[in-house]
Amino acid sequence: MPDLRTDRYRVAQWATGTIGTHALRAIIEHPHLELSAVHVFGADKIGADAGDLCGLGPTGITATDSIEAVLDSAPDCVLYMPATPDTAQLCRLLSAGINVVSTCGQFHHPASVEPALRTSVSEACARGNATLYATGSSPGFITEAFPLALTSVQRRLDLLAIDEYADLSQRDSPELLFDVMGFGGPAGPFDERRAAHLQASFGPSLRLVADAIGLPLDSVQTEGRWGLAAHDTTIRAGQLAAGTVAAQQITVSGLRSGRRLLRFQATWYCCTDLTEDWDLRPTGWHLTVDGDAPLDIDVRMPIPLDRMAAISPGYTANRAVNAVPFVCAAAPGIRSTLDLPQVVAAMGT
């Protein structure tokens, strides 16, 4: 166990997108972390002071796109947050003895990692005596840490359901909403690629929880559906025509003995005036536990919708930052939430 009152760690930030920028700021302001390096991908960021990249004052550490510079900075841990992980780079960090906390979803349940990737990463961890841990808010906190706490008061579990809601009406991101997520498009068959992406992201967490309580899943299944705008609607990102996609719901189910034991369901919407009646709740999470100690819990984000895009990445970034001491103290290898103590935030000096 780390001593959160005295231990200090050198940390490098890898990638400065929306979540990475939040993490970078948290490292700089953290009382027990010291920024060693910051790796960036945009050519316009190379050479910039790390503080300037996240709205803080100068740090004296300039951004680089060189993995050698990161290695030379001798970090204890790298917060690895690219949009897509690079296996060769990841293995090089681990082989050099650098622990890694990542928000990439492939590693939440080590047994589910694609075999060739698991072998490569595990061998790199062994060579460097290093640890890799993946976490975040969703998947991560809401699909692992929170459910494990809820099951701790159960002796029989019939169903644990996690519902995620996101009101995107004030999100000023036309490319994300229209081009990537498919809002405003025609009502055709549901995009199976999106369903597969969520299964790959959330299926490992469901398997992790099921394994933890001794009820391993037989399979994970995913289905999705569109919700259509009842009328022409104006949102922050643009226009939604009547009859086009205004909401989407993807359900990832963990099955055991022919029935659903665990479920994660994401409901994202740009308006509430749909052609069908959906149970659309405010942005946040709703968890229900059907068992011998039933529970019904709302977890809401009290943030104005026009500030959600700026604030919400902190839910993911902060958990990764807070995990650093525990990952540095963990045994080498690909580790999961089950392998670490409860992640506790070190906020005081």
- pLDDT above 70 (res 116): yes
Token pair in block for residue 2 = 């780390």
Q: What is the mean pLDDT of residues 272-297?
A: 97
Instruction: Please report where in the chains the tokens 């977890």 appear, as a residue.
Output: 299
Strands 233-235 and 333-335 come out as: unpaired
pLDDT in tens, 120-166: 999 999 999 999 999 999 999 999 999 999 999 999 999 999 999 99
Q: Which residues contact 16 (CB under 8 A, 6 or more apart)?
A: 24, 38, 40, 45, 53, 54, 63
Residue 337 neighbours by CB distance under 10 Å: 24
19-78 tens-digit pLDDT: 999 999 999 999 999 999 999 998 999 999 999 999 999 999 999 999 999 999 999 999
Nearest to 306 by CA among 166, 169, 137, 138: 169
| Of 134-143, 165-174, 194-203, minimum mean pLDDT range | 194-203
Looking up tokens 């622990």 gives 99
Torsion of the alpha carbons at 62, 66, 67 and 72, rounded to the nearest 10: -50
Query: What band does 93 get if pLDDT is binned at 50, 70 and 90?
Result: very high
Q: Which residue has the tokens 């589910």?
A: 112
Topology at the third CATH level for domain 9-137+313-335: Rossmann fold (3.40.50)
- Taking each continuous run of H as one helix and of E as one strand, the counts in the chain are 10, 14
d(CA 2, CA 6): 9
What mean pLDDT value characterizes the chain? 95
Instruction: Enter the tokens of residue 292.
Output: 């011998």
* Helices (H), ranges, 180-264: 192-212
Per-domain boundaries in the chain: 9-137+313-335, 154-292
| pLDDT score for 190 | 87
* Distance separating alpha carbons of residues 213 and 349, to the nearest angstrom: 37
pLDDT recorded at residue 47: 97
Question: What pLDDT is stored for residue 194 in this prediction?
Answer: 83
Q: Angle, nearest 10°, between helix axes 313-328 and 18-29? A: 50
At 349 the pLDDT is: 73
Q: Are residues 279 and 228 in contact, defined by beta-carbon separation less than 8 angstroms? A: no
